A and B are shown apart, each in its own frame.
Chain A
C-alpha cells in the first residue's frame, strides 16, 4: 500500500534528526502525546529577544513522530514566538512532503508540543494565564484521532 511509505524528506529527518536533546533550565517546555498511544514528544526552548534562540526535542514514537519533531524544531528555530505560534500541523506535514493519512496525527503532535512550549514561556513571563496554556487537540481523545 502506497500510503504506508514515507517521503524521502521524512526518512531523511528520521535518520538524521535535527535538534535532538535537552535544554537545561529551558524558558519554555512542552510535552504532548501519550506512551499508551505510541508517541510522546517533548520540546525545550530558549528565548532571546522574543525569538526562539535554541530548541531541542526528545520523542518516543514512530518514524513520522521523530521526523515531525525534527522538522518542527528546524522550522521554529530563529522565528519570533508569534511566528512560531502560527506554524500549523499542516505546515509541518507539507514541509515533510506529506505524511501517510493514518500518520497525520503525528504532525499534530509536533506543532502542539511547540505551541505548548511557547505558552509555557508566556505563562512564566505573565503574558497569558495558566488556564490559557492548554494543549491543542489531544485532550481526551482516543489514540490516533485528530
Chain B
C-alpha cells in the first residue's frame, strides 16, 4: 500500500508473527485478567507472560517491576506525576533535559502550575545532554530527573550511565523515556542504573495501545488515575489483553533479533546520510555517531519541511517526517531543534527519516535521488 515508508518512529507495522501470536486474545481467549473463572485465569496467565517478556527485554529484576499502560504517553505521565506527587514532601524540584518528549515535558509543566519548580538541562549542538550543567542543577530537593535514552527527532543517544551516576551520586531518582531506544539498542535498567523507564509496544512492532513503565523495586510512586486497582494499583482499567500480549511477543522477538537488525539498519542509515549530505546546504541533525541505528535526520536551507514531506509523498511515494512548525498543531517549530541551537528558520527545513523492518539498501539511491529532486524543486520556488 505504501511506497518507501521512512516514518517508523511515528508508527510501525505490527510484525505478522506478533499478530499471529496475539490474535487469539481478540477472538477466543478474551477473558478479563481480573476474573476468577477459567477464562479470566487464562487471560491472567497471558498477561503475566507478556510482563515477563517485557521485563526480560530491559533486563529488569522481575516481571513485577512492569506496570502496563496503554502507551508511552501514559507511562511518562505516570512516571512524572507519580514520582513527583509521592515525593512532594521532600522537595519540589523537577529536572528534565530540554529535548524530552512532550509527554514528559507537558506533565512537568502542569506540575509547575501546581507549585513545583521545573528546570531544563541544556544539550549541545548534537543533542547530547550537558553533564556538567546537569550536575550543577541537581540538589537534594530534586525529586525527579528525567533524561530520555534516545531522541526520536534527531536520533541522538544519551550517556545514560553517566547521567545515572550523577543522579544516584546525590541519592536522587532517574526516569528514562526509552520509547525510541528500546528494541533498537540494548537497554538494561540494572546496568544502566534506571529507576523508572518508559517503553512502548509499537516501537517494537507490537500493536499500538500498549506501553509500560518499569518501576525499580523499592521505588515508590503514586497512582495518577483511579479505578479498579489493576497493575498494582498504579494503572487502573481492564488490561488490553490483545495489545499487551502482542507487546510481550514483540519484546521477545526484539531481544532475539535486535543485534542483527540494528547492524543492518545502521548500514542503510549510513548510506542515506552519506548520499543526502551531498546535496547543497544540507546538514545532518543530531549526533553523527551516537545515534539510533535506523535514524537519519537532516535540515535543508531555504526550504520548508512540510513541503519536503508533501513532495516526497506525492511525487515519489516516500513517507518521511518533519519537525517544521508548519506541520505541527501549534505552529511552533520542534523544541528539540531549537534546543540544539537551530534558529527558527533553520528548524523549519527539517526532514526526519526513520528506518525499519522493511527498509533495504536498494532504497538508498532511490531515496537520495528523490530528496535531491525535491530540494531542487522547492528551492526553485523559494523566495529565500
Contacts and interface: CB of A to CB of B under 8 A. Distances in A.
Interface of A: 1, 4, 6, 11, 14-15, 17, 20, 31, 35-42, 58-63, 65-66, 102-103, 143-144
B383 A40 contact: yes
B326 A59 contact: no
9 contacts: A4-B327, A35-B384, A38-B304, A38-B345, A40-B384, A59-B383, A60-B304, A102-B329, A143-B325
Contact of B383 (A4, A11, A37, A60): A60
Contacts of A38: 304, 324-326, 331, 333, 344-345, 348
A60 B303 contact: yes
Residues of B in contact with A, size category: 20 to 34
B348 A11 contact: no
B380 to A, nearest CB: 7
> Interface centre among B302, B303, B324, B326, by most A CB within 10 Å?
B326
Contacts of A61: 304, 307, 326
Interface string B318-359: 000000111101011100000000011100100000000000
Interface of B: 302-304, 306-307, 310-311, 314-315, 324-327, 329, 331-333, 343-345, 348, 380-384
A interface, over-half SS: mixed
Nearest to A11: B314
A41 B381 CA distance: 10
Nearest to A12: B314
Nearest to A142: B331
Given A60-B304, A143-B325, A144-B331, A36 B344 contact: yes
A17 B331 contact: no
A73 to B, nearest CB: 12
A62 B382 contact: no
A105 to B, nearest CB: 8
Contacts of A103: 326
B326 A66 contact: no
Nearest to B325: A38
A60 B310 contact: no
Contacts of B329: 1, 102
B331 A143 contact: yes
Contacts of A1: 329
Contacts of B345: 35-36, 38
Contacts of B304: 38-39, 60-62, 65
Nearest to B302: A60
Contact of A59 (B310, B311, B381): B381
Contacts of B314: 11, 14-15
A62 B307 contact: yes
A59 B314 CA distance: 19
A35 B347 CA distance: 10
Contact of A58 (B344, B348, B382): B382
B324 A60 contact: no
Nearest to B380: A20
A17 B381 contact: yes
A63 B382 CA distance: 12
B326 A62 contact: yes
A100 to B, nearest CB: 10
A65 B381 CA distance: 11
A103 B325 CA distance: 11
A60 B325 contact: no
Contacts of B333: 38
B307 A66 contact: yes
> Interface centre among B302, B303, B314, B383, by most A CB within 10 Å?
B383
A35 B381 contact: no
Given A20-B381, A61-B307, 7 more contacts: A14-B310, A17-B381, A35-B384, A38-B324, A60-B382, A62-B324, A66-B307
B324 A59 contact: no
A65 B326 CA distance: 10
Contacts of A66: 307, 381
A60 B79 CA distance: 41
Nearest to A1: B329
A38 B337 CA distance: 14
Contacts of B344: 35-38
A138 to B, nearest CB: 14
B81 to A, nearest CB: 26
A144 B329 CA distance: 11
Contacts of B325: 37-38, 143-144
Contacts of A40: 383-384
A37 B384 CA distance: 13
Nearest to B348: A38
A138 B310 CA distance: 26
Contacts of B327: 4, 62
